[in-house]
Structure 1
Amino acid sequence: MTQPSLPIQTVHQIRDQCLCLAAQRAARKLARRFDRVFAPLGLTNGQFSMLVALSGQWQPRLGELAEFLAMDATTMTAAAKTLEKRGLLRLDADEKDARARRPVLSEAGHAAVADAVPLWQQEHAKLHAEMPDTDATALARVLSQLS
């Protein structure tokens, strides 16, 4: 029995207009690009994002950090444990709930962020230059509104 296929117009409409597909494709390409940039430091783009999120005054629980980074709790826990094993952060017990953990950057974690930020800045400048007809800052703001 032959499965009915979508009309080619529908396939093209989804290819050309689907925000989800466009965002997924762009996210994958950007992730690979920044993974290559951070590879000499032994970091992925996701690890960079985690470390940057923890480099300020905010001291979230793992669940709060997962929500901020739009990650599920299991993935967040695994990612944090990987960074903990590398000595880039430690997982402290929450003062009010000993079952909860708060990731805190170590000195090595702060140093990794300090090494990674200039690489991010250089690559981001290249990315902006490749998008001369696009306001990349406005695009980032619009994408942030989706989350």
Structure 2
Amino acid sequence: MSKAPQIAFETTLFVRDHCLCLHAQRAARALARRFDDALRPLGLTNGQFSLMMSLNRPEPPSMGSVASLLAMDRTTLTAALKPLERRGLVATVANPADKRSRLLALTNEGRSLLANALPVWKRTHSDVDRLLAEHDAGGLRSALRALD
């Protein structure tokens, strides 16, 4: 039986220092914690805030369009919606044009909570923008969008 190949520790250090995926994941977790902490007094996570904000449209969107916007599969979106529906913040309704498809809408309570959460998000985002001031946050946003 042959021995498994060995990877030099220097290679591990190189990957640690250069892997864009690792750095993006670490940054995403740090950002998520920051926004989760800020939104916690309102009973929201950053993911719930983003999901509710994605529903803030003139017409209720389809599950597919929301899943696409949030880069989620429909199963993950369905699971993310359940706690918001249980709290009466989001409603899922049949699409009048196609009874097989579902539309998503904020309830009045959901719109009120989102309006209360928005100033918290703005303050937190301003704090993040200040932290990134010397690093071109706009350029970072553009670079991340290029990966979509």
**TM-score, normalised on structure 1?**
0.91
Matches within 5 A, 1:86-97: 86-97=87-98
What letter is aligned with 2:90? L
Partner of 1:22: 23
Deviation at 1:56, TM superposition (A): 2.5
Matched residue SS, 2:57: coil
Instruction: State the alpha-carbon separation in 2 of the partners of residues 138 and 47 from structure 1.
Output: 26
Deviation at 1:84, TM superposition (A): 1.1
Partner of 1:120: 121
* Identical columns (%): 44
Partner of 2:40: 39
**TM-score, normalised on structure 2?**
0.91
Matched, 1:85 2:86: yes
Deviation at 1:109, TM superposition (A): 0.9
What value does the CA root-mean-square deviation take over the aligned residues?
Answer: 1.6
8 Å CA contact retained: 1:80, 1:103: no
Matched residue SS, 1:113: helix
Which segments of 5 or more consecutive residues in structure 2 lack a partner in the other structure?
none
Deviation at 1:44, TM superposition (A): 0.5
Distance 1:45 1:17, change over 3 A: same
Partner of 1:144: 145
Distance 1:137 1:90, change over 3 A: same
Deviation at 1:97, TM superposition (A): 2.2
Deviation at 1:42, TM superposition (A): 0.4
Matched residue SS, 1:21: helix
Runs of 4+ aligned structure 1 residues displaced above 4 Å come to none
| Higher mean displacement: 51-60 or 120-129 | 51-60
Instruction: State the alpha-carbon separation in 2 of the partners of residues 21 and 107 from structure 1.
Output: 40
Which segments of 5 or more consecutive residues in structure 1 lack a partner in the other structure?
none
Partner of 1:69: 70
